[in-house]
Structure 1
Amino acid sequence: MTANPAPNAAPASESAPSSLIIEDGVCVAMFAYDVGQHIDLNAVERIVGGQSQRRGLKKRRGSPRHFEFDPAPITLTQDIESIEVAGRALEPQADLTLYDFGAVTLAYRIDLRGPLGALVDIGVELYENAALLASSRKQVEAMMAILAPAVRKGHVAEFVEDYCVYQILALRDHPLERAVRSGGGIFAMALRADREPLSDQAQADVLGSRLSFGQDDTAIVDWNGAILLDADSDDGLAVLAYANVELLEMRYLDHQLDRALEIAWEATQARGWTAFLPGAGAAEQRRVAEFQIDGALLFEGVNNAVKLLGDQYLARLYRLASDRLHLPDWDASIMRKLDALDRMYQKITDQRAAWRMEALEWVIIVLIAVSIILPLMGLK
């Protein structure tokens, strides 16, 4: 069965009816970090023993085995400090998911049971929440210190990407699809982290990015978060978490390539007489080559971590999230920079070869001059 995107929805009411009560639901606040060039997931399992869990996708809804993580990431559960968001305490444990290409996601959970309208306050307080950001970095750094032997070129980069997913599993006395009809304004305000009702145009922009599989489920995906109205949405959560990780890695790689291009540019500039010394420019050439290799490995690792074939629901959900996060634009930008770096590396190589040839010519000229002058001076 093929999933079909929901048609662009007209703006819903600005507030949800008081009768809409979330009976079962959770908000998952995710923070993604780059922690190294590669994580040996088998080594992680050996270090943590029985505390880890390999999490693939469950293949529900008749989806073919064409959407799968390769290799499956590992999830660890950590105890966390007590933090409140909008008057609600976070669950006492958080999940840390590790991907083999050197990224991790720390996921906090907040119980959503209560009025649907409370999503707005939660969304506003989660936006750029300093306490959660500091806590997430502290948790990741502590775990990476333990897992250091399993991480190649380990570090915790300054870059971080956060994303919030509101999983609404059941409404009291109402089917889930009722929330789509009546709570659209609330969803839009929560996803855009704004307590003021959004304009019709802004609501349409948020609610238009929707995907449904059956009559009682809907995914609304925006750039800052998503709503999953579904009694069984763990696979969708895993897909959205991966899309957020991919955005983080694309941002990080783009920054690294900018640095590499600056180094390559400096290496191509005139170096005076030092350019003719043995080994001149070799260090810059090695650094540029290292950036090339690391960049290509990261780009391929991230883009090949998920197998996307066919037209099933999860693949379409990924493409929807990818479009909202502008991942194709990031991919195109990175490909251009990798190509530019390759051309500059070739120019550096050619330039060094020219310098060596020029230096050799001067050595030959000096030797010829010496061989002529010495006999004239009566010296042998």
Structure 2
Amino acid sequence: MQLTRLLPAATALFAGNGAFDNLLDDASSPPVPWFAYQGGFSLSSAEYVSAPYAASASYASNVGYSNFWFSQAVDASLWAPDTPYTVSAWVYASGSNCGSAEIGCAVKASTAPTMMFASYASFSMGVAANAQWLEVTATCFPPASSLVNDPGVAIIVSCSGGSSWVDNVTLVAAPDAVMPLPSNTGNGLTNGGFDDAADDATGKATPWTYTSSTALPITLSADEYLSAPYALAMNFTSTTAAAVGSLVYTIPATTWDYAYSYNLTFRAFIESNHPENAASGCTYLYYGFTQTLFVTPAYLTAYSTKDTTVASADEMGTWITRSVIFPPSTNGVSALYSGNLGIRVQPSCMDATVYLDDFTLEPVLPFVW
């Protein structure tokens, strides 16, 4: 079946041959200047929006979902740094066995593309699977640092059996686009105040994980707290050498919205048995984001802080607030959201108790690159 023409040929096109209708380029596979990173790539005249061709991929049945991922590099000189852009395309799928797909701006577009932060959108192929073309768009907010790393556009479609088509890909400046507010502005941490009654009944602080030994009992305490009924207490009992304790929260990938930086905030209460000599209390307090959990402080990422101010006597015996912002990445790529990303607090103390309470993790605007 050949669909009737729905739209005029794309205009204001940064993405070259976005309609796949340049016959000279289309003689090659994939057609210039497109790059097929994963999956098959062919031109099809069976389904298209603007004649004579659309990009097409076929998928084997009963072997799980396969990705059709193709991209195109766009000359960095054509981009304006820190300017929003809109990527648009029309998609079509046969059958009902195509799942989600993504479209957006990418880095390394001519080799192995990776979506930029805040620069792509996921969409369901459900409508397209019902035998009709679906227009999909994404608003890109590429940081200037991404524009030196082979920037471009990318599209990925995931199916199990059948075929999919993509046509009329465009990339245009969208100077009036505004970064949207996050869908959830609340605390991204569970039990950030250690007040979940079900967990606290067992003396735990789920989903928090913490070290504990004979030299460093870690308990829930009602002696000092901000949000009732508990705070978490690290009891440093040694009077001869500083001990190190770690409190860790592993953050599920579903917590993150790639369009935002995140601010970790918490409060600490240092109760030293030697307030007259701060060095006998707590010598440092590490806190922040880490991809490595229970290891030495040297493995904390650059988004963590070694805080020595808690060693001052005037901060003993009072609640102090600490915060650190985790930018998505220094190069605008979402790699640091993979793996065992978490937050970690790690004091080093002797003969003191450190109470921790009121942890929050909230998205912040604008980007912090």
Using the size of structure 1 for normalisation, the TM-score is 0.23
Higher strand share: 2
TM-score by length of structure 2 reads: 0.24
Query: Highest CA radius of gyration, 1 or 2?
Result: 1
Higher relative contact order (CA 8 A, sep 6+): 1
